[in-house]
Amino acid sequence: NKGNSSTNEVVVTAETMKNIRRQKDIEKLVIEAMENDRVEVHYQPIFNIATNTFSSAEALVRIKLIDGTYLQPNEFIPVAESSGRIIPLSDAIYRSALSFIKSYHVERLGIQHIELNLSVKQGESPTFTTKILQLLEDYQINPEIINLEITETSSLRSKERLHENMKKLEEHGLCFSLDDFGSGSSNLNYIIDMPVSIVKLDKLLSDEYFKNSEKAKAIVNAVIEMAHSIGIKIVAEGIETQEEFDTMKALGVDYIQGFFFSKPLPEHEFLKFIQNNNLK
Ligand code: C2E
Ligand code: CA
Ligand code: CA
Ligand code: CA
């Protein structure tokens, strides 16, 4: 033993190698899916307490595998974000969603907003605003139907540019939700600094609330009161049971999203769901 072993010696464990290989495999699946039209967008209906209808829906990406099963976003979004592939992937997702909105006139079914997830990599890009506006122009979509869900993350490099992009898009009629509130990194500053009109309470926080955590209860109550006092609406995410629904409704949240109503659905199933529930 020489005592002072080299400090820049890299130890590549079998586990690391497996992860690298897996990342590369996932990366390859993403590229193949983009080339072969297997990037699908599913839609999860969001219930509006005031109107008693499903007045919005969240667009959630899936990759259809050759055997007909789906690769879930938690497996490939982080990989796409670290490789930079998230930009072309998001382009494909947004085009798919806009084409869906256009083709089926979802607003005629009582859908006021389609919520698209926004990765910080997209949101802080200098060309983001013009790109979105161009897409809306291409598909002839009223910008007011689009709600972009942002998450506060540590990977945000330029809050200023994100803010600038949001401001410009807001002037064109788009609106924003603060996603995953209460999941750890979220921060009330965002509600004050950024033009958000909706806060989405993360499932983790609601679950703590349902487990009777005093801390979670205090946070949820404070956030709802604070948001409402400045005209911001609240969505409770990940609501799975009647009891959870009743609790959130009694708390005064404005929208409910979760498996209690529906999982994210492929386009045609989503349209059927909305027709059956909104047009009766
Ligand atoms: P998210 O934005 O927080 O989306 C909500 C997730 O919760 C979705 O998972 C949805 O299927 C799931 N969910 C909804 N209701 C319930 C429920 O009652 N119980 C439980 N256990 N889960 C519920 P999904 O579709 O697997 O997406 C996971 C994450 O991947 C999303 O979390 C989002 O961060 C990311 N993601 C999904 N689609 C996109 C996209 O198009 N672009 C970007 N950048 N990220 C996306
Ligand atoms: Ca979301
Ligand atoms: Ca969320
Ligand atoms: Ca989440």
| pLDDT tens digits, 43-91 | 999 999 999 999 999 999 999 998 989 999 999 999 999 999 999 999 9
The proportion of the chain whose per-residue pLDDT surpasses 70, expressed as a percent, equals 95
Residue 186 Cβ inside 6 Å of ligand 1? The answer reads no
- CA–centroid distance, residue 60 to ligand 1 (Å): 6
Full-model pTM? 0.94
In this prediction, residue 2 carries a pLDDT of: 47
Q: How many angstroms is it from 151 CA to the middle of ligand 1?
A: 12
Which tokens belong to 166?
């949001």
Atom of ligand 1 minimally distant from the CA of 73: 30
Please indicate whether residue 275, judged by its CB atom, sits closer than 6 Å to ligand 1: no
Q: Is 45 a pocket residue for ligand 1 (Cβ < 6 Å)?
A: no
Ligand 1: centre distance to CA 195 (Å): 22
Residue identifier of the C-alpha nearest atom 7 of ligand 1: 238
Task: Give the model's pLDDT for residue 8.
Answer: 65
What's the CA-to-centroid distance between 264 and ligand 4, angstroms?
14
Question: Cα(184) to centroid of ligand 3, in Å?
Answer: 12
Question: Of 70, 92, 78, which Cα lies nearest the Cα of 23?
Answer: 78
Q: Whose CA is nearest to atom 22 of ligand 1?
A: 238
Q: Supply the DSSP string of 234-274, one letter for each residue.
A: EEE-S--SHHHHHHHHHHT-SEEESTTT---B-HHHHHHHH
How confident is the model over 175-211, as pLDDT tens digits?
999 999 988 766 677 777 889 999 999 999 999 999 9
Q: Residue 59: which residues within 8 A CB-CB, separation 6 or more?
A: 41, 42, 43, 93, 97, 114, 115, 116, 117
Atom of ligand 1 nearest to the CA of 122: 44
